[in-house]
Protein backbone atom coordinates (compact mmCIF):
# COMPACT_ATOMS: atom_id res chain seq x y z
CA UNK A 1 0.00 0.00 0.00
CA UNK A 2 2.88 2.33 0.76
CA UNK A 3 4.23 2.09 -2.81
CA UNK A 4 0.79 3.16 -4.13
CA UNK A 5 0.91 6.29 -1.97
CA UNK A 6 4.45 7.06 -3.20
CA UNK A 7 3.37 6.59 -6.83
CA UNK A 8 0.38 8.89 -6.30
CA UNK A 9 2.59 11.58 -4.78
CA UNK A 10 5.13 11.28 -7.60
CA UNK A 11 2.37 11.55 -10.22
CA UNK A 12 0.86 14.58 -8.50
CA UNK A 13 4.24 16.32 -8.34
CA UNK A 14 5.19 15.49 -11.94
CA UNK A 15 5.12 18.58 -14.20
CA UNK A 16 2.38 18.74 -16.83
CA UNK A 17 3.24 18.10 -20.48
CA UNK A 18 2.41 21.75 -21.29
CA UNK A 19 4.79 22.93 -18.53
CA UNK A 20 7.58 20.63 -19.78
CA UNK A 21 7.10 21.87 -23.34
CA UNK A 22 7.08 25.53 -22.21
CA UNK A 23 10.25 25.01 -20.16
CA UNK A 24 11.93 23.27 -23.12
CA UNK A 25 10.96 26.09 -25.49
CA UNK A 26 12.37 28.70 -23.08
CA UNK A 27 15.61 26.72 -22.64
CA UNK A 28 15.92 26.34 -26.42
CA UNK A 29 15.49 30.09 -26.97
CA UNK A 30 18.19 30.83 -24.36
CA UNK A 31 20.57 28.30 -25.92
CA UNK A 32 20.09 29.69 -29.43
CA UNK A 33 20.50 33.28 -28.18
CA UNK A 34 23.77 32.25 -26.51
CA UNK A 35 24.98 30.46 -29.65
CA UNK A 36 24.22 33.53 -31.78
CA UNK A 37 26.11 35.74 -29.30
CA UNK A 38 29.11 33.37 -29.51
CA UNK A 39 28.91 33.39 -33.31
CA UNK A 40 28.92 37.20 -33.40
CA UNK A 41 32.46 37.18 -31.96
CA UNK A 42 33.67 36.06 -35.42
CA UNK A 43 33.61 39.62 -36.79
CA UNK A 44 31.29 42.03 -38.55
CA UNK A 45 28.12 40.29 -39.68
CA UNK A 46 27.49 40.12 -43.41
CA UNK A 47 24.20 39.81 -45.24
CA UNK A 48 25.41 38.17 -48.42
CA UNK A 49 23.40 38.52 -51.60
CA UNK A 50 21.90 35.25 -52.74
CA UNK A 51 21.14 33.70 -56.10
CA UNK A 52 19.92 30.36 -57.44
CA UNK A 53 23.04 28.75 -58.89
CA UNK A 54 22.67 26.25 -61.72
CA UNK A 55 24.93 23.27 -61.00
CA UNK A 56 27.14 21.56 -63.61
CA UNK A 57 26.60 20.58 -66.37
CA UNK A 58 24.24 23.58 -66.69
CA UNK A 59 25.16 26.63 -68.72
CA UNK A 60 23.89 30.18 -68.74
CA UNK A 61 24.21 33.26 -66.53
CA UNK A 62 23.60 31.42 -63.26
CA UNK A 63 25.82 28.41 -64.04
CA UNK A 64 28.58 27.74 -61.51
CA UNK A 65 31.53 25.43 -61.07
CA UNK A 66 32.17 23.46 -57.89
CA UNK A 67 35.13 24.92 -55.95
CA UNK A 68 34.88 22.57 -52.92
CA UNK A 69 32.50 19.78 -51.85
CA UNK A 70 31.65 18.08 -48.55
CA UNK A 71 34.78 16.55 -47.04
CA UNK A 72 37.04 19.39 -48.18
CA UNK A 73 37.66 22.84 -46.69
CA UNK A 74 35.59 22.01 -43.57
CA UNK A 75 32.40 21.33 -45.55
CA UNK A 76 29.92 18.68 -44.39
CA UNK A 77 26.87 16.87 -45.81
CA UNK A 78 25.30 18.84 -48.67
CA UNK A 79 27.49 21.95 -48.26
CA UNK A 80 29.56 23.21 -51.15
CA UNK A 81 31.48 26.24 -52.30
CA UNK A 82 30.66 27.20 -55.88
CA UNK A 83 32.33 29.72 -58.16
CA UNK A 84 30.83 31.99 -60.78
CA UNK A 85 32.82 31.34 -63.98
CA UNK A 86 32.80 34.95 -65.22
CA UNK A 87 34.28 36.42 -62.01
CA UNK A 88 35.55 33.46 -59.98
CA UNK A 89 33.59 34.84 -57.00
CA UNK A 90 32.82 32.12 -54.45
CA UNK A 91 29.39 31.43 -53.01
CA UNK A 92 28.34 29.07 -50.23
CA UNK A 93 25.45 26.65 -50.75
CA UNK A 94 23.81 24.19 -48.38
CA UNK A 95 20.48 22.44 -48.00
CA UNK A 96 20.55 23.31 -44.28
CA UNK A 97 20.74 19.71 -43.12
CA UNK A 98 23.76 18.26 -41.28
CA UNK A 99 22.34 14.72 -41.13
CA UNK A 100 20.48 13.32 -44.13
CA UNK A 101 16.72 13.04 -44.37
CA UNK A 102 15.08 10.36 -42.26
CA UNK A 103 12.64 7.80 -43.67
CA UNK A 104 9.74 10.23 -43.17
CA UNK A 105 11.42 12.85 -45.34
CA UNK A 106 12.47 15.19 -42.52
CA UNK A 107 15.96 16.48 -41.84
CA UNK A 108 17.40 14.62 -38.86
CA UNK A 109 19.61 17.57 -37.82
CA UNK A 110 18.84 20.98 -39.37
CA UNK A 111 21.56 23.62 -39.25
CA UNK A 112 21.67 27.36 -39.80
CA UNK A 113 24.45 29.67 -40.90
CA UNK A 114 25.73 33.17 -40.18
CA UNK A 115 28.30 35.06 -42.21
CA UNK A 116 30.99 37.42 -40.90
CA UNK A 117 33.99 39.44 -42.06
CA UNK A 118 36.90 38.88 -39.67
CA UNK A 119 39.35 41.61 -38.66
CA UNK A 120 41.89 40.48 -41.28
CA UNK A 121 39.26 40.58 -44.04
CA UNK A 122 38.57 36.89 -44.52
CA UNK A 123 35.01 35.53 -44.57
CA UNK A 124 33.88 33.35 -41.66
CA UNK A 125 30.86 31.10 -42.14
CA UNK A 126 29.53 29.92 -38.78
CA UNK A 127 27.55 26.69 -38.90
CA UNK A 128 25.12 26.50 -35.94
CA UNK A 129 24.43 22.83 -35.15
CA UNK A 130 21.96 21.70 -32.48
CA UNK A 131 22.75 18.79 -30.16
CA UNK A 132 19.53 17.23 -28.94
CA UNK A 133 18.72 16.43 -25.33
CA UNK A 134 15.67 14.18 -25.02
CA UNK A 135 13.17 14.86 -22.23
CA UNK A 136 10.70 11.99 -21.90
CA UNK A 137 7.27 12.62 -20.42
CA UNK A 138 4.81 9.82 -19.79
CA UNK A 139 1.18 10.52 -20.68
CA UNK A 140 -1.82 8.46 -19.61
CA UNK A 141 -2.74 7.83 -23.25
CA UNK A 142 -1.86 9.14 -26.67
CA UNK A 143 -2.00 8.16 -30.30
CA UNK A 144 0.70 6.23 -32.08
CA UNK A 145 2.02 8.34 -34.93
CA UNK A 146 3.74 7.16 -38.07
CA UNK A 147 4.90 8.95 -41.15
CA UNK A 148 3.30 6.28 -43.33
CA UNK A 149 5.16 5.27 -46.45
CA UNK A 150 8.86 6.17 -46.46
CA UNK A 151 9.66 9.18 -48.61
CA UNK A 152 10.94 8.38 -52.11
CA UNK A 153 14.60 9.12 -52.79
CA UNK A 154 15.21 12.79 -53.52
CA UNK A 155 16.86 13.38 -56.90
CA UNK A 156 20.06 15.44 -56.86
CA UNK A 157 19.31 19.16 -57.17
CA UNK A 158 19.97 20.99 -60.42
CA UNK A 159 20.12 24.36 -58.66
CA UNK A 160 21.20 25.48 -55.20
CA UNK A 161 20.48 28.64 -53.24
CA UNK A 162 23.92 30.21 -52.88
CA UNK A 163 25.25 33.06 -50.71
CA UNK A 164 27.84 35.30 -52.41
CA UNK A 165 30.99 35.66 -50.32
CA UNK A 166 32.73 38.58 -52.07
CA UNK A 167 36.02 36.71 -52.59
CA UNK A 168 37.47 34.37 -55.18
CA UNK A 169 40.05 32.84 -52.83
CA UNK A 170 39.34 29.59 -50.96
CA UNK A 171 42.06 30.62 -48.50
CA UNK A 172 39.93 33.66 -47.57
CA UNK A 173 36.96 31.50 -46.51
CA UNK A 174 36.80 29.80 -43.11
CA UNK A 175 34.08 27.52 -41.78
CA UNK A 176 33.50 27.25 -38.04
CA UNK A 177 31.06 25.02 -36.24
CA UNK A 178 29.23 26.13 -33.12
CA UNK A 179 27.11 23.57 -31.26
CA UNK A 180 24.31 24.31 -28.82
CA UNK A 181 21.77 22.20 -26.93
CA UNK A 182 18.12 21.93 -27.87
CA UNK A 183 15.64 20.06 -25.69
CA UNK A 184 13.22 17.75 -27.49
CA UNK A 185 10.16 16.64 -25.54
CA UNK A 186 9.15 13.06 -26.33
CA UNK A 187 5.84 11.73 -25.06
CA UNK A 188 5.60 8.09 -24.08
CA UNK A 189 2.27 6.47 -23.33
CA UNK A 190 0.97 4.16 -20.65
CA UNK A 191 -1.95 3.27 -22.97
CA UNK A 192 -1.14 4.04 -26.64
CA UNK A 193 -3.85 3.68 -29.28
CA UNK A 194 -3.75 3.88 -33.06
CA UNK A 195 -5.77 6.46 -34.96
CA UNK A 196 -8.31 4.64 -37.17
Residue 6 lies in a domain: no
Residue 1 lies in a domain: no
Residue 160 lies in a domain: yes
Residue 7 lies in a domain: no
* Rounded distance between C-alpha atoms, residue 50 and residue 93, angstroms: 10
Residue 5 lies in a domain: no
Per residue in 151-175, pLDDT (tens digit) is 555 666 778 889 999 999 999 999 9
How many CB atoms are located within 10 Å of the residue 26 CB?
11
Residues of the chain with pLDDT under 50: 1-13, 146-148
Residue 83 lies in a domain: yes
Residue 4 lies in a domain: no
Structural domain for 84, as ranges: 16-194
Residue 124 lies in a domain: yes
Total number of domains constituting the chain: 1
Mean pLDDT of the chain: 81
Residue 186: exposure state from Cβ atoms within 10 A (0-12, 13-18, ≥19): exposed
Amino acid sequence: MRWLACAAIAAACAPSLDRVRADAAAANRRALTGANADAARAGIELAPATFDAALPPASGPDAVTIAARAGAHGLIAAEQLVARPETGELAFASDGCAVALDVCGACARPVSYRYFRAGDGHVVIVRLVPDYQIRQVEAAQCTIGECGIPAPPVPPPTTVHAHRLGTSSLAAVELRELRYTQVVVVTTCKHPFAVP
